[in-house]
Amino acid sequence: MTTQSGLGTCGWVSCGVGIVAGALAYWVSVGAVTWLPALLIGVSVAVFVALLLGKYACGWSMTGHDEQKGPTSAQTVASGAAEAGAAGATAMAAGAATVAEKTEKAAQTAGGAAKDAAKTAGTTAGDVSEKAGEASRAAAEKVADTAEEVTGTRPAVLGAARDGKPDDLKQIKGIGPKLEKLLNEMGFYHLDQIAGWTEDEVAWVDENLEGFKGRVSRDNWVEQAKTLAAGGETEFSQRVGKGEVY
């Protein structure tokens, strides 16, 4: 079989892989032997890997000559390999066991990385975009939930009205029958509870009044509740007492 002159794309790739393998062999062996034997080991490994890939991946011929252009590229590389292998034979024998073990571990690591890279490369752009969108939405929802949880401080609540007699919270302007029922369900039954709310507690109630968010601050419940809890009246509470409102 005749071979083409020049290494070609496949040949250059094989040589590149061989160089990487040689560099890896040098790196793992330099800890066991001095730099010169390690360098010879690296060169030998690089040439061996390049030849092996060239033979099985690129179809290099290891025997014979090109009918018209003399020795093949594979034979030229083989000649260099023989010279480098002879020069490093003694060093390779001294550190062979250690180098083999470290090289095997490095190869396993490289193989695992190659599989992961191939798996990642196989993921389509659509899949990546979809997963990124899902992650973004999940993060936004989590941030929103966290923001709701940390808004203000929840006031103290009661499990039931004292003595079973809740105050008429409708005396506070802005609280109708529906909102009074919601407040009772949340554990707020008495005027003095509302009168004692701090700014943080007002913020929490404002945020958690489903369907009525912001009403506490907007209608100034706390000030009204303080007046009413102390036994006073407001213009609105007087109208409620007369039955003019509800």
State residue 137's pLDDT score: 64
What is the C-alpha to C-alpha distance for residues 39 and 26, in angstroms, rounded to an integer? 6
Task: List own/partner pairs for 224-231 with CB under 8 A and 24 or more apart.
Answer: 224/171, 224/172, 224/173, 225/172, 225/191, 225/192, 225/193, 225/194, 225/195, 226/195, 228/171, 228/172, 228/191, 228/195, 229/190, 229/191, 229/192, 229/194, 229/195
State residue 83's pLDDT score: 52
In order of 12, 29, 62, 69, 123, the CA distances from 81 in angstroms are 16, 19, 12, 21, 40
Boundaries of every domain in the chain:
8-111, 162-241
What is the C-alpha to C-alpha distance for residues 151 and 140, in angstroms, rounded to an integer? 17
State residue 51's pLDDT score: 82
What is the C-alpha to C-alpha distance for residues 184 and 27, in angstroms, rounded to an integer? 74
Residue 164 is given by DSSP the state: G
Whether residue 242 contacts residue 233, with contact meaning beta carbons closer than 8 Å, is answered with no
State residue 35's pLDDT score: 79
**CATH class, range 162-241:** mainly alpha
Indicate the pTM of the whole model.
Answer: 0.41
Instruction: Centre a 10 Å sphere on the Cβ of residue 41 and count the other Cβ atoms it contains.
Output: 27
CA angle 6, 8, 14 (to 5 degrees): 110
State residue 1's pLDDT score: 41
The neighbouring-strand residues paired with 66 are 70
Per-residue pLDDT of the chain (246 residues; tens, 9 = 90+): 444 445 678 778 777 877 887 788 778 777 777 778 778 887 888 788 778 877 777 776 655 444 444 445 444 544 554 454 444 444 444 454 454 565 566 556 655 655 665 565 555 445 655 665 566 566 556 655 554 455 789 999 999 999 999 999 999 999 999 999 999 999 999 999 999 999 999 999 999 999 899 999 999 999 999 999 999 999 999 999 999 988
Whether residue 51 contacts residue 60, with contact meaning beta carbons closer than 8 Å, is answered with yes
